Amino acid sequence: MSDNKKTKQRTLGQYMTTEEVALDMCRYFKTDKASWRVFDPTCGDGVLLEAAARVLLEHGIPINKIHLVGFDIDFEMVEKAKARLKKLGSDESPSIELRHCDTLQVLNGGLFATDELALLSNINIVIGNPPYGKNLEVRFFEACDRYFSGRAELVFLLPISFADAISDTAFTLLKGRPLGVTTGHVIVHHYCGKPYTQKRQKESLDQVDGFRVLSGVKLYAVGDGIPPQTGETLKTKPYSSEEYSPGWLPCLRTGDIKKYSYAKGRLWVKYGDHLAHPKELDRFDGPRLFVRRVPIWADKSLGATFIEEVALCAGDVLVIKHATNDPELLRGLCVFLNSPEVSDYIVEQRPSVGHRDSFPKISAKDLARLFRHRIPAPEALRTLAQDYPQKNDKTN
């Protein structure tokens, strides 16, 4: 990847659409093709506008009846789009209008955008791959939905995190890495002006029915800990070992935790302020649950277990404590967390959790949302506790 491309990905959120994905996006529109007037608010090098034109040509629309409009904040990309779309010309040419401008300012009523706004007066097809980062993808969606309300059909290529933020829009999950990055992507199909819901992104981690979700310890980080850890500390890892030393505590990681059981002994930690983020020790003592941040997706289980003995857990494991340290309620909650209902709910609420085949992670906020909206009543948890396997939780 060139330095220029990396810079634009970082500063402008540019991730270019492939021709294959561009053509696929065009097939989501329901509007009669004979009436298409197409706008790409972030046209880049013009691949989406070209794809729309080619789909129209395939359906017998005369080239001189094709109307394309594209805006982009990057002058270089606008010039590339002009070169690409010029190839569509022949004896007769489509109507093509490309502008170097800030689309969000235009759609939000820019004072000096009269010419650009005039180009949008009869647009009824909006297709785009908005920039990512700083909530830009959501801002472009909202701006287009508002400006073209009641008169345009919209298809956007967006990071799957959009599905975490907005509900009541139709989206199709793309497999693999169509843009060459690990971020999952969805194709969103929406009628501008149709009501949608912006989900609450921040879930309180306060207690819910006495339960609280906590994080594990972070062992190493340059500059953290007392005294501050150095690069040499990260290299030598003096505070953790696979071998037991007197006074050191077991520390569990994802691979040590199964459904209703755990194994200790793979990692021992010298606990204290010298760790990057040691946490308070009482969260690692007494009745509690350890929950994997990488669930057992094949089993549709979060992978939770009950534990009472003193043991730390690393950052890839979550801790659930109860205000009264009630073992029965905790075991009932463990049964609930290991049910397919819970994994389905978490993926439904935050689709990006389940978009990859390997190592999708949940967060404390996922569990906080679950507790706030779906946790069973205490009586139901006590009934569920009867289904907790009658065996020792610990395995050595």
The domains located in the chain, with CATH, are 3-198 (3.40.50.150), 211-395 (3.90.220)
Q: Is the pLDDT of residue 15 over 70?
A: no
| Residue 296 pLDDT grade (very low, low, confident, very high; cuts 50, 70, 90) | confident
Distance CA 220, CA 208 (A): 31
- Confidence at residue 295, expressed as pLDDT on a 0 to 100 scale: 85
Q: What is the pTM of this model?
A: 0.62
Paired tokens of 252: 């569990």
- Confidence at residue 65, expressed as pLDDT on a 0 to 100 scale: 94
**Who's near 28: CB < 8 A, 6+ residues apart?**
155, 172, 187, 189
| Residue 393 pLDDT grade (very low, low, confident, very high; cuts 50, 70, 90) | low
Contact 318, 283 (CB under 8 A): no
Q: Is the pLDDT of residue 358 over 50?
A: no
CA 332 to mean position of chain CA atoms: 30
When pLDDT is averaged across residues 296-316 and rounded to a whole number, the result is 91
| In the block, residue with structure tokens 């696979």 | 242
- Confidence at residue 180, expressed as pLDDT on a 0 to 100 scale: 59
Q: What is the pLDDT of residues 259-283, one digit of tens each?
A: 999 999 999 999 999 999 999 999 9
The CA distances from residue 241 to 183, 237, 245, 249, 313, in Å, are: 34, 8, 9, 10, 14
Q: Is the pLDDT of residue 140 over 90?
A: yes
The closest alpha carbon to 370, from 315, 298, 318, 308, belongs to 318
* Residue 98 bridge partners (DSSP): 70
Distance CA 46, CA 205 (A): 45
| Residue 203 pLDDT grade (very low, low, confident, very high; cuts 50, 70, 90) | low
- Confidence at residue 12, expressed as pLDDT on a 0 to 100 scale: 40
Q: Is the pLDDT of residue 353 over 70?
A: no
Q: Is the pLDDT of residue 11 over 60?
A: no
